Structure 1
Amino acid sequence: MTDVDPGLRARLRDDLRHRLRPMTGRDPRERDRSATPIELLYDLTYVIAFGAAAELLAHHVSAGEVGPAVGAYVFAIFAVSWAWMNFTWFASAYGNDDALFRVATIVQMVGVVVLTLGLPVSFEAAAEGHSPNNALMVVGYVVMRVPLIGLWLRAARQDPEHRRTAVAYAVMIAIAQIGWVLTTLVPAPVAVTVALLVALALAEMAAPVVAERKLGRLPWNAGHIAERFSLLTLITLGEVVAATTGAVGALAGAQGWSVAAGAIAASGLVLAASLWWAYFLIPSRAILEQWPGRTWAWRYAHLPMFGSIAAVGAGLRVAAAAVEEQEVSLVQIAVALAVPVGAVIVTIFATWSVLMRSYDLTHVPLFVLTLIPLVAAVVVAAIAGRHGPVDLESPADTTALVTVIALVTLSAVVEVVGHELVGFRHTVRVVQAAEAA
């Protein structure tokens, strides 16, 4: 019998036995580090939360409650995205995949589910003029964050070199949770509560930057973080595909399969693929591994990125609602699609800019060309939808709906083609200049 390679035995022991292991910090310079199965499982619960928020946004926008719906959506997306970023930051520095780490991660996933169950209450409260915060969401959020306090304290005990920074993270999270709870328990006018929530959010975003600059950088891996963010972006784009399927299913159910249903299906899939293509034209992993200090601004640029992508799915759901209920105007559909797609394009440009630390005016003509189809979609909707809600028994309304969705899709296609023809050259020039400097 052939002897088993000792390296293989050690690998199997690490992969299959999850007893407690030292949490002494990972190698921040490790190349080709990939996401673990527990991290991928963790991501799935967050995508469910994104999808639930997008569905509620579409429902309330279709009902005409645009302002409150957008406010509740922003609140939900920040809560979900920020909790995910905090865990990803910790896991990149200290994820050892032992049993205790796995259990703490699963408990956080339970918190995501609880928070998701509180989203309908949040949107209803916002629609009635109340604060989007509610007890169920706070309970879920606390369950999401408290296990991380224990993990940070464990890391502080087992990694003396970074003890002060790890303790600072635990204290910051604990203080933040007290603040979130107080905004629910202490009665206050809506404006005051919202102001406090914004202040808490800004404080939570600023505190980690200050802590690591004052107390020392933790051993997070820039390449691993780039992969984790790109994977969540990819999974969130699945919401666009799911929403496309829903919109086409509604149209097919109302009219049967038709040229319009096929056109909307094709446009939705092309839109998802184009946004994927555009995002991955940002050379995140290569640049962050070379210059890890750029990770901070780059990761914060993803807060609006995740929300914008999920909102594209909400726009497609608004289109589906127009088909099913015929109470939504073509202008509402156009705006519901054009605004989030435009926001994704803007955040892609912003993410590239903060990553490369360069702002190229040659991108402005491309940016304008990208926005032209979005403006055209709204103009077409305003002209064709003057008479009120979409009536898909009217060939003119059906044609206008397909045209609007196709124009929004064209915008993302223009972004991709433009970057493939022009943008990559500037990326190379910026890198060459940075290396020369």
Structure 2
Amino acid sequence: MQTSGRDAELEAELRETLHHRVRPMRGRDPRERGRSTSPLELLYDLTYVIAFAAAAEELARHLSEGRAGPAVGAYLFAVFAITWAWTSFTWFASAYGNDDVLFRVATIVQMVGVVVLTFGLPVGFEAAAEGESPNNLLLVVGYLVMRVPLLALWLRAARDDPARRRTSVAYAVVIAAAQLCWLATALLHLPVAVTVAALVLLAAAELTAPVLVESRFGRPPWNAGHVAERFNLLTLITLGEVVAATTRAVGALVGEQGWSPSAVLLAASGLVLAAALWWAYFLIPSRAVLERWPDRTMAWRTAHLPLFGAIAAVGAGLRVAATAVEEERLSLLQIALALAVPVAVVLVTVFVTWSVLMRSHDLTHVPLFVLSVLPVAAAVVVGAAHGRDDLVEAAGAPGFGALVTVVALVTLGAVIEVVGHEAVGLRHTLRAVRHREWEPAGSG
């Protein structure tokens, strides 16, 4: 039986997509339009969202117990470790992900590392609460399992892609050196202040290294549109954690007290916050702009780094509010800060990401940003005015009306961001694009 041209084409496609033989890692086409996220990348992302959720749960627990300073420090450390590991692999996969058996196995091994790191998060938070470094051996082992396969993949790319060998080798050297330093901070019993300073310096070095490597040796063949989709999807999945945290918080409250105005308030505010933050973020035209001006991708990526942890922390803030109503042991100011700070960080990140992406200094965008942040700041003022020592009580108590006000103000800030972007954001974006129309594609 003869095979038609269309059947032969389908057969070739199936051989390519279903037979995961070892293939040369020569690099993807950085100019490929319409490249989409693979199922393996989506599976990989799910393990990271679980890590974000675990970190947010620990944050909520320690905030509810009044250990805000150590909890925030441990959370920032955990979120950086999780976010940077995901970003580093996403950067590589966009450039060299060939979906062969070795790449798949390396990706799955990294997922095992994320799970190990997740188990180390409670240990890190407890250590921070006791005045010690949050960096523990279990976290570092998880990080090693995540980073060693990535190092091996960079070396494999160096072998298979001679034109970019120096870039790949440089990335491998940076990962190896950084990982040895992370391991040293966990093994050496240095004073806490010295360890924390070392961790901060290491984080700064990890952030700076890609810029130095690519400016010195050239950039890998990452695809700007694909990178934009990867960040967009992780943002979307992390927003789902806000919905999940809302469900858990309201479920615990209902199980303790039954359906009440408090439970309805938290359920409604959690869903509105998740929807508003989703709406605001996806009004940023990341993929369309980065495909035209890929040189903006590095700065755009850096602007994203606080976003995922801040979104997960919104869910932690809702959990704190539920605990406060359920157990009546937190002040309104503590609840206001737990909700307002992460929402404010998300709003700031959206504003900065848009500005970096569009390379715009359009001052007419600033009033919208200020209007969005003002209600969030007002929520903290209401919390402070209510007093540090006055505990929040259930519906019907004098403090419940203030709690409603705080939650409403925080939610209003996110809603204003959406309404403002819909009303004037498009004009600002088009103005910024027209200002850059003379630039050729690929220029900064």
TM-score, scaled relative to structure 2 = 0.95
The answer (yes or no) to whether the contact 2:63–2:71 under 8 Å persists in 1 is yes
CA distance in 1, matches of 2:112, 2:236: 23
The answer (yes or no) to whether the contact 2:266–2:318 under 8 Å persists in 1 is no
**Letter paired with 1:60:** H
Q: Which of 314, 317, 337 is the matching residue for 1:315?
A: 317
Q: 1:163-205, CA deviations, whole angstroms, 9 ceiling, x for partnerless residues? A: 1111111111011111111111122111111111111111111
The answer (yes or no) to whether the contact 2:246–2:267 under 8 Å persists in 1 is yes
Q: Which of 27, 31, 34 is the matching residue for 1:32?
A: 34
Look up the match of 2:77. 75
Q: 1:298-318, CA deviations, whole angstroms, 9 ceiling, x for partnerless residues? A: 101111111111111110110
Moved more, 147-156 or 392-401: 392-401
Q: 1:44-69, CA deviations, whole angstroms, 9 ceiling, x for partnerless residues? A: 00000000111111111111111111
SS of the residue corresponding to residue 422 of structure 1 reads helix
Q: Say how many residue pairs are matched.
A: 437
Moved more, 255-264 or 150-159: 255-264
Q: Which of 68, 87, 90 is the matching residue for 2:89?
A: 87
Aligned-residue offset at 1:362:
1.3
Look up the match of 2:196. 194
Aligned-residue offset at 1:294:
0.5
Structural mapping, 1:44-193, within 5 Å: 44-193=46-195
Structural mapping, 1:254-403, within 5 Å: 254-384=256-386, 388-392=390-394, 394-403=396-405
**Letter paired with 1:338:** A
The answer (yes or no) to whether the contact 1:95–1:101 under 8 Å persists in 2 is yes
SS of the residue corresponding to residue 388 of structure 1 reads coil
SS of the residue corresponding to residue 265 of structure 2 reads helix
Q: Which of 218, 235, 238 is the matching residue for 2:237?
A: 235
SS of the residue corresponding to residue 32 of structure 1 reads coil
Q: 1:348-390, CA deviations, whole angstroms, 9 ceiling, x for partnerless residues? A: 1011111111122212221221122213322333445666222
Aligned-residue offset at 1:9:
0.8
CA distance in 2, matches of 1:359, 1:254: 51
Look up the match of 2:442. none
**Letter paired with 1:84:** W
Q: Which of 218, 221, 237 is the matching residue for 2:220?
A: 218
CA distance in 2, matches of 1:141, 1:44: 17
Q: 1:118-156, CA deviations, whole angstroms, 9 ceiling, x for partnerless residues? A: 011111111111111110000000110000111111111
The answer (yes or no) to whether the contact 1:250–1:323 under 8 Å persists in 2 is no
CA distance in 2, matches of 1:355, 1:83: 23
CA distance in 2, matches of 1:391, 1:262: 15
1:7 matched to 2:28? The reply is no
Q: 1:239-269, CA deviations, whole angstroms, 9 ceiling, x for partnerless residues? A: 1111111222233223322344223212211
CA distance in 2, matches of 1:377, 1:218: 45
Q: 1:78-124, CA deviations, whole angstroms, 9 ceiling, x for partnerless residues? A: 00000000100010000011111000000000000111100111111
Indicate the percent of aligned positions where both proteins have the same amino acid.
Answer: 72
CA distance in 2, matches of 1:435, 1:36: 32
**Letter paired with 2:124:** S
Q: 1:261-294, CA deviations, whole angstroms, 9 ceiling, x for partnerless residues? A: 2232122111101000111111110111111111
CA distance in 2, matches of 1:199, 1:378: 32
Q: Give 4+ residue runs of structure 1 displaced > 6 Å after superposition.
A: none
**Letter paired with 1:332:** Q
The answer (yes or no) to whether the contact 1:264–1:402 under 8 Å persists in 2 is no
**Letter paired with 2:54:** A
CA distance in 1, matches of 2:294, 2:367: 31
**Letter paired with 2:134:** P
CA distance in 1, matches of 2:124, 2:60: 14
Look up the match of 1:42. 44
The answer (yes or no) to whether the contact 2:326–2:394 under 8 Å persists in 1 is no
